[in-house]
Amino acid sequence: MSRLSLALKVAVGLLMVDSVIELAFVSSMVSWLHRTASKGFSFKYGDSTYHLAGEPLHIMTDQGHTSNGAAGTAFVLIGLGGILALWLRSWSRKYGGMGTFTRFIYYLWVALNIPALLLTTGALAYVFAVTNAHEGQSIDVPLATTLNGSKYPLEFWTPQNWFSGVMRGWQYNLIPMFIVQLGVTILAVWEFLGWRRQEVFNRGEK
């Protein structure tokens, strides 16, 4: 096994680990929103205690779905798909050359690395852009005291901005996920080009 092939396999493994972490972060966020935050919170203002709904009226969650989709794609298509494609390639080489099906699976996997990377890049940019666009918002406390547990109606909120301090993990985990996936994509294409050159050389010798 060449160093490049080994590096690719290690990178695929790291991507699978980090994508699972991202999926776990997003799942725990959703679970926390539904099980804990939905109960609401109590806060003191002056000499009285008031109840605030756990979620605002306008909460934005599309960026979480996008991150979940990017992580799932990285794990299934690039991770599991890479294991299958590289194993089939290795098995075919050992037992007499790549057949049409094996070649198709390998070529498809290499090609899918690029749109999968673009999806992760888009998720990274989308999450940070949306979150930063709503940074610095604050709750109008006098208004909140009049809601009697109803959802806070002003402005649009991301989970990270509404629950600052408990929702940042899945957002920042997109950064190492993007870096690792970029490495996987570069290594996959680089190794593919080397493999193709070797294939052409072997055919020429025959």
Q: Are 162 and 56 in contact (CB under 8 A)?
A: yes
Residue 13's H or E segment, with its range, is helix 3-35
Classify residue 192: in a domain, yes or no: yes
Residue 23 lies in a domain: yes
pTM, two decimal places: 0.82
Helix (H, G, I), strand (E, B) or coil at 36: coil
Q: Which amino acid is at 111?
A: A
In a domain, 152, yes or no: yes
- Count of structural domains, the chain: 1
In a domain, 36, yes or no: no
Give me the tens of pLDDT residue by residue for the chain, a chain 206 residues long.
678 888 999 999 999 999 999 999 888 888 877 887 778 888 787 888 888 888 888 888 888 899 999 999 999 999 999 999 999 888 887 776 667 888 899 999 999 999 999 999 999 999 999 888 888 888 888 888 888 878 889 888 888 787 765 577 778 889 999 999 999 999 999 999 888 887 767 666 55
How many whole angstroms separate alpha carbon 206 and alpha carbon 192? 21
Residue 71 forms part of a structural domain: yes
Domain, as residue range, for 147: 3-31+41-205
In a domain? residue 78 = yes
